[in-house]
Amino acid sequence: MAVESTIYLLCLLSLFCGPSRQKAISLELSCGAGPSHVLSIASSSPTDIRLMWQPLSTQHSRGAVTRYRIEYSAMDQDNIYSVEVGGNETQFTLRELQPNQTYRLRIAAGTGIGFGVSSEWAQHQTLANYNQIFAPTELKVRAKVSSLNVTWHPSPNHTVVSGYKLSCQEMESDDTSNGHRPLLMHTIRLRKKARYHILTGLPDHQYEVRVWAFTKQTDGAAAVWKGRTDKTHNRPPLPPSIIQALANSSTSIWLRWEKPRFSNVRIINYTVRCSPFGTTNASLVSYHTSSVQEILLGDLKPFTRYELAVQSNGVDVAGPFSSTVQETTLSDELQLNALYTSSVLVSWRPPLQPNGIITSYTILYSTNMSQPEHTWNNVSQDTITSVEIRGLTSGTQYFFKLGASTEMGPGPYSPVKDVNIPYLDIPTVTGIIVGVCLGL
């Protein structure tokens, strides 16, 4: 629950206002703010403070306000931080603050000639209970004929959550209250990165949708939506026909299809469903939208079998998914072979259908996979698909990844692969040298 306090910007210039009858903190702006401009301060999580204010007119500001300056500091610290926002802004959120900490804040308005005198300091304390799991924000549900498209933003303290849960409860109506059929309800566990989910196969009814975060110990507060599936009687379009899937690389698959036959329903776009073969985990199912009759699905796992289906979408109505097709991604195209105690042969297979003509390849390698990419060793290569990397250290693990560039620019890098450079066996080498010398 947000903690809020309200402060009034009261003009202290007798030119604009008389004595105030409000019991509030008086904030003086030298640019001449009009009477009773409300500044609200709120916290939606233990680490943020949100400020909101009413815009000032040019009549009250002695000119056009071009910017605002917000200054803040913890009460037990001397350091003062400041941030500037545009003159057309009416709110700003301070983030990465300390929980259960009292802060002081003030604001000043500025015109083209500079800032006015800042307001008096106001105090606000951030929330204390950081262990509380807050509800996801901006829950939105798009209702269709037989489906609900649910989207949300993460909880304010989403870094502590393990994932999300989504429940869909069929609400009681005249039909269900008479005992004609049981209420429908199911709950789905989703990954921490999930931001949307599509509920399909729903009959025309009233529903309550809840989304909440959870940890290993407890569940958080839920964001709630209530409504019903769309009652529109537009005929849903038929699913596409002749769906073809072709592995393009170890992490991508091309999917192509034709428009449905014998259908006069206008198709706006298509929805592609992608999941590992045989999975029952809803969090592993991904959905993609395409306005054309093909799509390159990326970020897949190497040498993995996937199930794919396509749905036609009309105007405010979605059709059923097609029958599934299956395709397996290629094995890793990046191959590493330690040749000696100081070199590695790097070879790869180019994509079957690259997104443009490949002009060059880039090989990055490092002994520390956690380092940023710009610190890795960089080797550029033309269209030849192998190169020997020399000057490596024996007995060391190296990490490699490969990227391709076209005339449009560089593409994403491949998944990281590693190779161990063998040790130089000194006794063995010495024995060989001695044996050769004795033979001579």
- The pLDDT of 8-29, averaged and rounded, is 32
Under 8 Å CB-to-CB from 108, ≥6 apart: which residues?
29, 30, 68, 69, 71, 115, 116, 117, 118, 119
Name the more confident of 431 and 15.
431
pLDDT at 115 over 90: no
Q: Please check whether residue 131 lies inside any domain of the structure.
A: no
Q: Please check whether residue 429 lies inside any domain of the structure.
A: no
Identify the CATH number of the domain in which residue 390 sits: 2.60.40.10
Name the more confident of 272 and 381.
272
- The pLDDT of 384-411, averaged and rounded, is 88
d(CA 158, CA 44): 13
pLDDT at 149 over 60: yes
12 and 114 in a single domain? The answer is yes
Under 8 Å CB-to-CB from 23, ≥6 apart: which residues?
none
pLDDT band per the 50, 70, 90 thresholds, residue 377: very high
109 and 147 in a single domain? The answer is no
Mean pLDDT over each residue of the chain, to the nearest integer: 79
298 and 338 in a single domain? The answer is no
pLDDT at 431 over 60: no
pLDDT at 102 over 70: yes
pLDDT at 437 over 60: no
Q: Please check whether residue 428 lies inside any domain of the structure.
A: no
Name the more confident of 71 and 333.
71
Please tell me the predicted confidence (pLDDT) of residue 261: 80
β-sheet bridge partners, residue 84: 69
Please tell me the predicted confidence (pLDDT) of residue 134: 80
Q: Please check whether residue 433 lies inside any domain of the structure.
A: no
Please tell me the predicted confidence (pLDDT) of residue 231: 66
219 and 266 in a single domain? The answer is no
pLDDT at 332 over 50: yes
Give the number of other CB atoms < 10 A from CB of residue 257: 24
pLDDT band per the 50, 70, 90 thresholds, residue 426: low
How is the beta sheet containing 148-153 ordered, strand by strand?
A: 137-143, 148-153, 196-199
- The pLDDT of 116-134, averaged and rounded, is 78
Please tell me the predicted confidence (pLDDT) of residue 186: 81
Mean pLDDT check: name the lowest of 12-26, 342-356, 389-403.
Answer: 12-26
Q: End of a domain among 195, 228, 261?
A: 228
pLDDT at 166 over 90: yes
Please tell me the predicted confidence (pLDDT) of residue 33: 40
Name the more confident of 440 and 133.
133
Name the more confident of 134 and 389.
389
24 and 101 in a single domain? The answer is yes
Please tell me the predicted confidence (pLDDT) of residue 40: 76
Q: Please check whether residue 430 lies inside any domain of the structure.
A: no
* Concatenated DSSP letters of 192-212: TT--EEEE-S--S-EEEEEEE
Q: Which of 53, 13, 16 is nearest to 37 (CA)?
A: 53
What tens digit of pLDDT does each residue of 37-69 get? Answer: 446 787 777 788 888 877 766 666 677 888 889
DSSP character at residue 72: E
210 and 277 in a single domain? The answer is no
Please tell me the predicted confidence (pLDDT) of residue 409: 82
pLDDT band per the 50, 70, 90 thresholds, residue 4: very low
- The pLDDT of 416-427, averaged and rounded, is 80
Q: Which domain holds residue 186?
A: 137-228
253 and 321 in a single domain? The answer is yes
224 and 284 in a single domain? The answer is no
- The pLDDT of 325-329, averaged and rounded, is 90
- Helix H or strand E encompassing 221: strand 219-228
pLDDT at 432 over 50: no
Please tell me the predicted confidence (pLDDT) of residue 9: 39
pLDDT at 31 over 50: no
- The pLDDT of 286-301, averaged and rounded, is 92
pLDDT at 175 over 60: no
Q: Please check whether residue 440 lies inside any domain of the structure.
A: no
Model pTM above 0.75: no
* Concatenated DSSP letters of 387-407: EEE-SPPTT-EEEEEEEEEET
Under 8 Å CB-to-CB from 273, ≥6 apart: which residues?
285, 286, 287, 308, 309, 310, 311, 321
Mean pLDDT check: name the lowest of 82-96, 164-178, 386-400.
Answer: 164-178
347 and 400 in a single domain? The answer is yes
Name the more confident of 46 and 211.
211
Rank 174-188, 276-290, 420-434 by mean pLDDT and report only the highest. Answer: 276-290
pLDDT at 233 over 50: yes
- The pLDDT of 19-34, averaged and rounded, is 36
How many domains does one find in the chain? 4
Q: End of a domain among 287, 308, 328?
A: 328
120 and 194 in a single domain? The answer is no
pLDDT band per the 50, 70, 90 thresholds, residue 234: low
Please tell me the predicted confidence (pLDDT) of residue 43: 75
Q: End of a domain among 67, 92, 125?
A: 125
Backbone φ and ψ of 436, nearest 5°: -65, -40
- The pLDDT of 312-335, averaged and rounded, is 86
Please tell me the predicted confidence (pLDDT) of residue 26: 34
342 and 292 in a single domain? The answer is no
pLDDT at 199 over 80: yes
